[in-house]
Amino acid sequence: MYPSKFNYLAPESLEEALAVLAERGDEVKILAGGQSLIPMMKLRFAEPSTLLDINRIPGLDGLNRSNGTLSLGSLVRHNDVVKSDTAQANHTVASAAPWIADPIVRNLGTVVGSLAHHDPEGDWASVMLACGAELVLSSSTGERVVDIEDFLVDMFTTSCQPNEMVTEVRVTAHTASGGGNYQKLERKVGDYATVGVATSLELDDNGDITSAGIALTSVYPRNLKVVEAEQALVGHAPSDDLFAEAGRIASEACDPASDIRGSATYKRHIVDVFTRRGLAKSLGIAQGGQS
């Protein structure tokens, strides 16, 4: 099937793009990587009257570390993260990038585009939930910064307004005593996750956990931040028993559906296993071990 007719605009400045959104935002879809939008347009699940291609706008492809923050612009491709030494500033982000879809999608698709699309089975939302990310939403009247939990409203729904576009996502860089990981089970390369688990840990000088992030993919109607499991970790010394308890809490918090990717019982088991494994890998990085 072919997409319905649309106007195509390719602004060469952010100001020009934001002016278009201010004038006709309700009828616009933004094109960055297009790996989700173009198939939806071909199936006519999305029928924008205007397609706003932002790929000619300079300055949106920055992947930078500054003052303890890793920032990714709206044109940073998945493979940009895979290849970047700078991305290693946040281990959860760096470990997730190679798991995104397949090589073609990773070459074209963008991190911010995935977040803005908010497919509930997407990997990046779990990563950003575990890392406590912030998003910069820009409009012709200025910017606002939104926490990832406030940004992700429901499946395929975010708090980004029609006159806004996401220009940047920010995550805290791991310290020398921090680490993170993304674990994913998929049936074949490029498939949606059967289960995905993002983890992040920070330790104090005594080796106790000062902050923790755990978020799950494909086992709930949306990407799920498991606050109860995070709280169970903070203030305690890492141990196999502690990680086992976090895995148990995470497996009970999720509500997976039985489908072609496995039964609900199987998925809960994998959540338990991957939570323990991801926390152990995060701890190894925090202690200067595996990366």
Give me the residue spans of the domains in the chain: 7-53, 63-172, 178-286
Q: Is 3.90.780.10 the CATH classification of the domain at 7-53?
A: no
Q: What is the mean pLDDT of residues 263-268?
A: 97
What dotted CATH number matches 63-172? 3.30.465.10
- CATH architecture label of 178-286: 2-Layer Sandwich (3.30)
DSSP state of 60: S
pLDDT at 291 over 60: no
CA proximity to 29, closest of 47, 51, 44: 51
- In this prediction, residue 191 has a pLDDT band, given cuts at 50, 70 and 90, of confident
Percent of all residues in the chain with a pLDDT value above 90, rounded to a whole number:
94
- CA 281 vs. chain centroid, Å, equals 19
Average pLDDT, the chain: 96
Q: What is the mean pLDDT of residues 195-208?
A: 97
* Contact yes or no for 167/14 (Cβ under 8 A): yes
Q: What is the mean pLDDT of residues 96-112?
A: 95
Q: What is the mean pLDDT of residues 246-256?
A: 97
Q: What is the mean pLDDT of residues 117-126?
A: 94
* Contact yes or no for 266/272 (Cβ under 8 A): no
Q: What is the mean pLDDT of residues 88-102?
A: 96
Distance between CA 278 and CA 136 in Å, rounded? Answer: 28
